[in-house]
Structure 1
Amino acid sequence: MKNQILTVYPSPPPIRACIFDMDGLLIDSEDKYTRGTNEILAKYGKGPIPWDVKAKLQGRPGTAAMDIFLKWAQLPITAEEYTAEQNDLHTKYFPTTAPLAGVETLFQQLSVARTAQEGHPVAIALATSSHLPKFRLKTSHLEPLFSIFPPEQRILGDDPRIPSGRGKPAPDIYLLALSAINDSLHASIPPIQPHECLVFEDAVPGVEAGRRAGMQVVWVPASGLAELYQGREHEVLAGKTGEGDDLLGPNELGSVGDGWAAQMNSLEEFDWARWGVEFANRENK
């Protein structure tokens, strides 16, 4: 999938769809990743993992993240041995994941959210780099929360429709999520365009993926990540930190300060009006 051509609007257009990342945005699984990683590092007299390394792992497909981590860690074990130890810890910790602040309220609001012009429900999809086995570990006990996403609108990192090597920061997973949304729409509803989508992300590569897809983005970084990128926030929001330049070339979509992305400390701060969304019942806003 290629990057979309971004139409320049005087201001960002109202959104018609929301597409969510998962780890570190909806649930605290990133904390579980860090806990397990640090346990392995400590076992071999290393660690803890610093934020400048963790930032490069977040949001990326497992294989790509593993390559970056092992190159940095220089552990005295093989990649296969590390994976086995990691999987044991994931099996231990992932079934204890919990929703992050603001998620449950945001999902409740989505049930009555309506597009500003047509009054249609705001469409939704999940777009996570997690593969199916890990997704199940992290979410099986949270199915009431994740039931908001129809099964066909849950796009996972091992989806065969995503070409090899085209995980985040490439835009493919978000464009595929939008395609799944459009496939679900009634024939009378015009297809949703990339610029009418709002991506929710915690990771820098994920923000870049959303911007490369020609979508609007909300960035909700962990405090350590926000501190790491202090002074560079506008580059992150524009998708111009260079995370994907080696694979994809420079991101030509949008520009720094174009208003197509926003940063917040948690989803508790999210303001629907900022993105042109109305409510069927104003009391639910």
Structure 2
Amino acid sequence: MAPRTDFPPVRACLFDMDGLLLDTEDIYTLCVNLILDKYSRPSMPWSIKAQLQGRPGPDANKILLDWAQLPISSQEYAVETAALHQKLFPGTKPLPGVPELLTSLSRTAEPGVDSPTVHIALATSSHMGNFKLKTSHLADVFSVFPPHRQVVGDDSRLKPGRGKPLPDIFLLALQTINDSLPEGEAPIKPEECLVFEDSVPGVEAGRRAGMRVVWCPHPMLKEEYAGLEEEVLAGRTGKAGDVDLHQVGELGDGWAEYLASLENFPYEKYGMVIPPPKA
């Protein structure tokens, strides 16, 4: 189909975190492989890893444990995993281009700026404990997300069992923005939102929410889906959970695109005007 080109300017950017803002995916892989090696199991292939990304922890762990067939219970696995997370997550770093992107978007909300504000919110499947582990040493990066616009996997505002690839987390993130807009500013519509995701379930969640999506995956995930990029961008891989086809996109519909990196982001393409840094 012909791609749509008459989109309104983006007024809100909604961000995933793991593997998108932070370099956590290789840390997650290391933690899993350390446990697999301990019990003489083979390392996790990317075909399995791809199914875990973007999902709430309990869902991801079930997929992994069904495949790994470890000689320990799910509770024991969770304890061992948590210990490794405590050790390794405080070393997370922002991925290339992330500080610059967030800083540029936040400048649109500064007092006295003439360009329209681009509101931002966080929508991560990480529960609050892991969120704090990964971000407490990066306060300068995450300070751009007001606390009420940070939606985490165990957020009380989310219904249990409604994680990605379902759209709820992105719709809630948009709601947090609309509920706190300045007086007189019109509510933001889903098609005025741009979702930033690295995972396939996350892309599907964004598409199901009726939002535009930027897919910026780990190079190995991109390799795993070689030849299926259009299906990923449409939310139609069929590998991210039960697919209600009326809720996702069409191949080549122009609502989503792939970027190898968030460096040098093309704001103009999305109708965003970024003011220059203050002298």
Under a length normalisation based on structure 1, what TM-score does the superposition of the two structures give? 0.91
Distance in 2 (CA, whole Å) between partners of 1:235 and 1:12 is 21
Distance in 2 (CA, whole Å) between partners of 1:205 and 1:234 is 14
Distance in 1 (CA, whole Å) between partners of 2:247 and 2:171 is 17
1:219: which partner in 2? 215
Distance in 2 (CA, whole Å) between partners of 1:225 and 1:234 is 14
Count of aligned pairs: 272
1:3: which partner in 2? none
Counterpart mapping for 1:59-98 below 5 A: 59-98=54-93
1:192: which partner in 2? 188
Query: Is the 1:240–1:251 Cα contact (8 Å) retained in structure 2?
Result: no
Classify the secondary structure of the residue corresponding to 2:196.
strand
Structure 2 vs 1, CA of residues 243 and 123 (structure 1 numbering), >3 Å: closer, same or farther? same
1:164-209 Cα shifts (integer Å, max 9, x gaps): 2110000000000000000110120000000000000000000000
Query: Is the 2:51–2:240 Cα contact (8 Å) retained in structure 1?
Result: no
Cα RMSD over matched residues? 1.7
Percentage of matched positions with identical amino acids: 55
Structure 2 unaligned regions, length at least 5:
none
Q: Which moved more, 1:122-131 or 1:234-243?
A: 234-243
1:151: which partner in 2? 147
Query: Is the 2:103–2:144 Cα contact (8 Å) retained in structure 1?
Result: no
CA drift of 1:244 comes to 4.8
Distance in 1 (CA, whole Å) between partners of 2:247 and 2:75 is 38
The runs of at least 4 aligned residues of structure 1 exceeding 6 Å deviation read none
Distance in 2 (CA, whole Å) between partners of 1:252 and 1:157 is 22
2:11: which partner in 1? 16
Counterpart mapping for 1:22-37 below 5 A: 22-37=17-32
Query: Is the 2:13–2:196 Cα contact (8 Å) retained in structure 1?
Result: yes
- Given the alignment of the two structures, is residue 140 of structure 1 paired with residue 119 of structure 2, yes or no? no
Distance in 2 (CA, whole Å) between partners of 1:162 and 1:85 is 27
Classify the secondary structure of the residue corresponding to 2:125.
coil
1:245-277 Cα shifts (integer Å, max 9, x gaps): 52x523534311111111011111421111111
The one-letter code matched in structure 2 to 1:201 is E
Which of 258, 263, 269 does residue 258 from structure 2 map onto? 263
Query: Is the 2:197–2:203 Cα contact (8 Å) retained in structure 1?
Result: yes
- Given the alignment of the two structures, is residue 280 of structure 1 paired with residue 267 of structure 2, yes or no? no
- Given the alignment of the two structures, is residue 120 of structure 1 paired with residue 116 of structure 2, yes or no? yes
1:233: which partner in 2? 229
1:65-92 Cα shifts (integer Å, max 9, x gaps): 0110000000011111111110110000
Counterpart mapping for 1:236-251 below 5 A: 236-246=232-242, 249-251=244-246
Distance in 2 (CA, whole Å) between partners of 1:32 and 1:169 is 22
